[in-house]
């Protein structure tokens, strides 16, 4: 069973950043265990290949980078959802190498984690609202991002 990356509620920026770093390190370790051959297989019942699912995590990091930055800078964020399947198809992630996708995912998340560490404490309570969903605090949004990440990494690395 994969080690947990998501921890109990944390309210200060330094702890949230440490949680973020630990989550990315755990995910990287697990994702490095996936071979190019495994990543290229298409599921028999349809759906994304492992490459496409990691690509989805790249898209998620991209979208959430902007959301988190704007909430931290402006004290709130209210924006749209994104068309996940369309983003995955448009990028053609299945055609890229696993190592390329993994490197890009890792660098994107390291940058995102660096930004999380710099969020002013008072902005952690900024409301983040996506589409028609109920608003969440910025701190809760970052933790939700990490839960989403964990869910997909566990799915990708499941034997």
- On whether residue 6 sits in a domain, the answer given is no
- On whether residue 88 sits in a domain, the answer given is yes
Q: What is the pLDDT of residue 8?
A: 40
On average, the pLDDT of the chain sits at 92
Q: What is the pLDDT of residue 11?
A: 66
Q: What is the pLDDT of residue 13?
A: 86
Q: What is the pLDDT of residue 3?
A: 37
**CATH assignment of the domain containing 21:** 1.20.120.450
- On whether residue 1 sits in a domain, the answer given is no
- On whether residue 60 sits in a domain, the answer given is yes
- On whether residue 8 sits in a domain, the answer given is no
- On whether residue 85 sits in a domain, the answer given is yes
- On whether residue 18 sits in a domain, the answer given is yes
Q: What is the pLDDT of residue 154?
A: 97
DSSP character string of 92-145: TGGGS-HHHHHHHHHHHHHHHHHHHHTS-GGGGG-EEEETTSPPEEHHHHHHHH
- On whether residue 7 sits in a domain, the answer given is no
| Rounded distance between C-alpha atoms, residue 148 and residue 20, angstroms | 12
Total domains present in the chain: 1
| CA distance to 33, 58, 60, 94, per residue, from 143 (Å) | 25, 17, 13, 28
The residue range of the domain holding 44 is 13-157
pLDDT less than 70: residues of the chain = 1-11, 159
Longest Cα separation, the chain: 48
Give per-residue pLDDT as tens, 59-73: 999 999 999 999 999
């Amino acid at each position: 069973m994969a080690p947990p990356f998501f921890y109990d509620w944390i309210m200060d920026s330094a702890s949230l950043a440490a949680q973020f770093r630990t989550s990315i390190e755990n995910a990287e370790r697990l994702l490095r265990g996936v071979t190019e051959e495994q990543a290229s297989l298409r599921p028999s019942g349809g759906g994304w290949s492992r490459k496409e699912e990691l690509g989805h995590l790249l898209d998620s990091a991209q979208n959430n980078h902007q959301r988190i930055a704007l909430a931290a800078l402006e004290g709130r964020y209210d924006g749209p959802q994104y068309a996940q399947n369309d983003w995955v198809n448009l990028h053609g992630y299945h055609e890229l190498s696993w190592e390329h996708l993994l490197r890009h995912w890792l660098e994107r998340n390291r940058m995102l984690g660096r930004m999380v560490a710099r969020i002013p404490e008072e902005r952690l309570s900024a409301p983040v609202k996506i589409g028609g969903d109920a608003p969440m605090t910025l701190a809760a949004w970052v933790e939700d991002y990490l839960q989403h990440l964990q869910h997909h990494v566990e799915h990708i690395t499941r034997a």
